[in-house]
């Protein structure tokens, strides 16, 4: 960048442009600016135009920092699936997920598939592998761990009711991570693992490799990073293996859990409303969302007497992943021994 000494003309021009920019901003954003402008008018009467000008500028700065102003100005971020054009793929069930895969858990027969080889961010579906590593390590579940500043999300700025300094058992942290997708709990599980976070993430990737999940990569245990990626085919393998673990089954399908924190009792609920739905018999599940991944859902469920594994990735809309699962369930119930969906390939899925 070139620098130059300001002249009287350039200074005047700069002030003029700043005034124009400030006026445009005030005219285009939230009511707080209008209120500030009204206050500015009073101040002008009391203190003169010069003081009033300073207050007006301060009000604009305040408005710029306002979360409401930021929400108005922030553009919608496209998911990886949208950027790759995966949502243009049509299917006979009109699913809103750009990636889907449904298999029979016992026979490994593919009943439905859609872009099942696409490698995408998987958000909090990551926590299934986090849970698997913790459970298989046979660490004491009653050991107390403490939420630290290191567990605070700096990736997405997500909130948590587990304040820094909160103590809970490893079992409680695993329960909250799988049931309520609690990010600080999941991060604390990795941070307090023998060898620390580096060893934990290395083990996550090693476990994926041993399972043959060749499309999968993990960089942290929560799923907040878009660099945690996998394919529907790999996730079917993960769900199938995780379903063999009774701890993961119990914690992921728990409808709710109360935890005492200091003088308070916190009520946590399952992020998947289908676990409370009597029409569903769910053996294991996990939801996930970050903007890069879209809405995600994996489940093991019994439908029409068949044990199914369902994977839905990059669904558009907050409730659309649930709607997609309902469409698949009703389709299987109306066609209990049907051949695979039109456009899919009859094959077996290993895992």
Q: Which residues are catalytic?
A: 124, 127, 181
CA atoms of 173 and 187, how far apart (whole Å):
9
How long, in residues, is the chain? Answer: 351
Which of 82, 125, 101 minimizes the C-alpha distance to 324?
101
Contact in structure between 340 and 328 (CB atoms under 8 Å) = no
User: Cβ-count burial of 106 within 10 angstroms (0-12 exposed, 13-18 middle, 19+ buried)?
Assistant: exposed
State both tokens at 196.
């620390």
Contact in structure between 189 and 182 (CB atoms under 8 Å) = no
Contact in structure between 122 and 293 (CB atoms under 8 Å) = yes
Contact in structure between 308 and 331 (CB atoms under 8 Å) = no
Alpha carbon of residue 323 to chain centroid: 18
State both tokens at 33.
């600016």
End-to-end CA distance of the chain: 57
What is the CB neighbour count within 10 angstroms for residue 62? 13
């Amino acid at each position: 960048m070139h620098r130059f000494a300001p002249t009287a003309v350039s200074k005047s021009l700069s002030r003029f442009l700043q005034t124009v920019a400030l006026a445009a901003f005030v005219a285009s954003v939230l009511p707080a600016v209008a209120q500030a402008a009204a206050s500015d008018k009073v101040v002008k009467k009391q203190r003169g135009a010069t003081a009033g000008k300073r207050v007006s500028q301060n009000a604009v700065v305040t408005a710029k920092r306002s979360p409401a102003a930021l929400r108005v100005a922030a553009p919608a971020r496209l998911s990886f699936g949208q950027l790759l054009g995966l949502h243009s793929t049509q299917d006979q069930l009109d699913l809103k997920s750009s990636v889907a895969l449904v298999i029979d858990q016992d026979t490994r027969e593919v009943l439905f598939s859609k872009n099942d080889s696409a490698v995408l961010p998987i958000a909090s579906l990551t926590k299934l592998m986090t849970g698997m590593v913790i459970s298989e390590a046979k660490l004491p579940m009653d050991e107390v761990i403490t939420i630290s500043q290191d567990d605070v999300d700096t990736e997405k700025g997500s909130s948590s009711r587990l304040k820094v300094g909160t103590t809970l058992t490893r079992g409680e942290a695993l329960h909250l991570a799988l049931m309520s997708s609690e990010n600080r709990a999941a991060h604390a599980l990795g941070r307090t693992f023998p060898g620390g976070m580096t060893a934990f993430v290395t083990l996550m990737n090693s476990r994926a490799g041993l399972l043959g999940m060749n499309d999968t990569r993990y960089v942290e245990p929560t799923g907040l990073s878009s660099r945690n990626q996998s394919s529907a085919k790999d996730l079917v393998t993960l769900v199938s293996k995780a379903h063999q673990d009774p701890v993961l089954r119990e914690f992921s399908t728990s409808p709710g859990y109360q935890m005492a924190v200091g003088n308070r009792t916190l009520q946590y609920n399952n992020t998947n409303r289908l676990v409370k739905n009597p029409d569903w018999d769910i053996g294991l599940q996990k939801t996930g969302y970050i903007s890069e991944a879209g809405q995600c859902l994996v489940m093991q469920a019994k439908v029409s007497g068949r044990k199914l594994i369902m994977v839905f990735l990059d669904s558009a809309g907050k409730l659309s992943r649930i709607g997609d699962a309902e469409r698949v369930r009703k389709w299987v119930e109306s066609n209990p021994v049907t051949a695979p969906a039109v456009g899919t390939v009859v094959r077996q899925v290993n895992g």
